[in-house]
Amino acid sequence: MSRWFPSPPLSVALLVMWLLLNQSLAPGHLLLGALLAVVVPLWAKPLRPMAAVRFKKPIVMARLLGMALVEIVRSCFNVSRIILFTRPDGLNSQFIRVPLDLKHPHGLALLSCLINSTPGTVWVEILPDSHDLALHVFDLHDEAWWIDTIKTRYEQPLIEIFE
């Protein structure tokens, strides 16, 4: 099964996405969607260097994603308020360094997605010499608060889940 379907969830997602985008259950779309659902994961298999990831603590993952969703919504309102009502000379855009303990590639990828999904923050890079995260904050007021937030709200649960 894994020879023809290296990632069954990806195959199912591709087929469903194809059918939704075409808004049709015609036999031709079913056949083409099924072909894509088989071929694309086979082509992408060499790009996945690690085996499938098993979440050790799904409750922690659900709590992390819920907390991130609340943070994203809160940040949307804050950034909108800043853009609409704050003078540009009152902004304090800065780069900060956040020391990371998380080493798992999938954990780092999810941390990157969470940070980049939050308006006002951008994951720049992991500095190779120190394994620190370079982070850009749109309106920085307290660097220590940002470091503490990334370390406790995001990194700590990801360490529990992946390592």
pLDDT in tens, 20-79: 999 989 999 999 999 999 888 888 877 776 666 777 788 999 999 999 999 999 999 999
E-assigned strand segments in the chain: 94-99, 121-127, 132-137
One-letter identity of residue 52: A
148 has pLDDT over 70:
yes
Predicted pLDDT of residue 133: 93
Ramachandran region, residue 90 (left: φ > 0; alpha: ψ -120 to 50; beta: rest): alpha
Total residue length of the chain:
163
Predicted pLDDT of residue 135: 94
1 has pLDDT over 60:
no
Predicted pLDDT of residue 60: 92
151 has pLDDT over 60:
yes
Q: How confident is the model at residue 145 (pLDDT cuts 50, 70, 90)?
A: very high
Predicted pLDDT of residue 154: 94
163 has pLDDT over 90:
no
